[in-house]
Amino acid sequence: MLSGIKHLWQRNKFLLLAFVFAAIATVFFATRMIVLGIYWADPDHQNQPLEGWMTPRYVAYSYGLEPDEFELVLGIDPTAVSRVHLRDLLKEQGLTLSELQTRLDALVAARVGE
């Protein structure tokens, strides 16, 4: 085996190097996949914070809010607007993402308390 590898190194360095590189890449991707998968499965990390790219419908959907509940928070009916970014809506209303996040969290917490 060892003499075979030595022979290969003398005759075909490229093949051996490519194999080693591909094996390292395989381990690298496997490790990252497992680490990210563990993070994903942790219930503490399952609430996705609000981001500017989200749409009102998307926020309502991912937080499990009814349209009227969402309207309480942002003052608009999510079913009335399609494909609008949260960041544009917030700019119109003079709100920041973190302010909206606080309101949403309060709403969700209140529902859990019910």
Partner 1 sequence: MTDLLLSLVVDYGAALLFAVTFLSCLAIPMPSSLMMLAGGGFVASGDLALATAAGAAFLGAVTGDQTGFLIGRRAGLWLERKMTAQPKRAALHGKAIELTNRYGGPGVFLSRWLISPLGPYVNFAGGATGLNWARFTVWGAMGEAVWVIVYVGLGYTFADRIVELADILGNASGFLAAGAVTIGLGLWMRNAMRQAKEDRGEV
Based on the shown chain and the rule CB under 8 A, indicate whether residue 107 belongs to the binding site for partner 1: no
**61 touches partner 1 by CB under 8 A:** yes
Annotate 14-38 with DSSP letters as a single string. HHHHHHHHHHHHHHHHHHHHHHHHH
CB 79 within 8 Å of CB 67: yes
User: What distance in Å separates the CA atoms of residue 32 and residue 100, rounded to the nearest whole number?
Assistant: 33
18 binds partner 1 (CB under 8 A): yes
Residue 36 touches partner 1, criterion: CB under 8 A:
yes
Number of Cβ within 10 Å of residue 65's Cβ equals 20
CB 57 within 8 A of CB 71: no
40 near partner 1, rule: CB under 8 A = yes
Per-residue mark of binding to partner 1, 69-98 (x: CB under 8 A):
----------x--xxxx-------------
Cβ nearer to partner 1, comparing 23 with 106: 23
Shortest distance (Å) from residue 62 CB to partner 1: 3
Which chain residues interact with partner 1 by CB under 8 A? 4-5, 7-8, 11-12, 15-16, 18-19, 22-23, 25-26, 28-30, 32-33, 36-37, 39-40, 45-46, 48, 51-55, 57-58, 60-63, 79, 82-85
